[in-house]
Amino acid sequence: MNKAALFQQIQKKQSFLCVGLDTDLSKIPAHLLVLNDPIFEFNKQIIDATADLAVAYKPNIAFYEALGAKGWESLKKTLDYIPQEIFTIADAKRGDIGNTSGLYAKAFFEQMDFDSITVAPYMGIDSVKPFLAFEDKWVILLALTSNEGSADFQLTESKSGKPLFQEVLEKSQSWGNTDNMMYVVGATRGEKIAEVRAIVPDHFFLVPGVGAQGGSLEEVAKYGMNASCGLLVNSSRGIIYASKGQDFANAAREEAKKLQQEMKELLAQYCH
């Protein structure tokens, strides 16, 4: 789907919620563990409980890789189960030289049918462009993350005074367009989000999480929204591990609902 279609979904569901399927055998309810594919069963129930509230699902690929070939199968089954109109993100943070990035693209865009993939920018243009060769598929490029280590290199200022993340944003804009490129922008303090928004006014941002490490959902919306919403805000643990009991899917729905209600108000307030 392109940007307009994604925005349509956001308006339809009054939500810009992305549910992170960071599914961990040690964290899911014990009663699922006797099943043949506990990971998929968990994801299936989460999807069933939240599909009307979320515009995106984002499995972090590490969680599936950690389980070897079986994890890969659970991932594929999960992806196939997600309703067609919901935007899917392979949170893989891949990136390599040309032909190799092309193979990563094959893995996630052909072997599996993800709409998008997160990509690391360190190796520059030829490590990113191969993903953009796939029609109707998106690259979500790491720009400014909000983990502790984001300060190590992303904030390093060049001679012209620009931090590295700004160089990444500015340079990469010409590699694709607003219909196939998004940026990972951590929920840092509001001013930082405003800074990023000023550099890339029309691109979507994937915000990995709110609250814990920086800005609140309101701040992110206030400083980060644009006329097409322009935000996908992810929540993983807060939703999928809301309960460790038999009621886990309902509990997940409750938390997703709370966020969606807040998002509905923020859309009304800031999306213009």
Q: Which helix (H) or strand (E) holds 9?
A: helix 3-13
* Residues making contact with a second copy (CB under 8 A): 22, 60, 62-63, 65-70, 72-73, 76, 91, 93-98, 100-101, 103-104, 106-107, 111-112, 120-128, 142, 145, 147-154, 156-159, 161, 164, 167-168, 171
> Nearest approach, Cβ of 156 to a second copy (angstroms)?
5
Residue type, 75: L
Concerning whether 93 is annotated as a catalytic residue, the answer is: yes
Q: Which helix (H) or strand (E) holds 142?
A: strand 138-144
> Nearest approach, Cβ of 152 to a second copy (angstroms)?
3
Closest-CA residue to 154 (of 136, 140, 166): 166
Which of 44, 76, 77, 93 does the annotation list as catalytic? 93
Q: What backbone torsions phi and psi does residue 232 show, to the nearest 5 degrees?
A: -125, 115
> Nearest approach, Cβ of 106 to a second copy (angstroms)?
4
For a second copy, the closer CB: 156 or 269: 156
For residue 194, give the DSSP letter. H
For a second copy, the closer CB: 152 or 265: 152
> Nearest approach, Cβ of 56 to a second copy (angstroms)?
18
For a second copy, the closer CB: 111 or 216: 111
For a second copy, the closer CB: 77 or 257: 77
Q: Are the C-beta atoms of residues 240 and 46 closer than 8 Å to each other?
A: yes
Q: How far apart are CA 120 and CA 178, in angstroms?
A: 18
**b/e for 201-233, b at 16 or more Cβ within 10 A?**
eebbbbbbbbeeebbebebbbbbbbbebbbbbb
Please identify which residue in the block is written with the tokens 């307009």.
4
- Residues annotated as part of the active site: 93
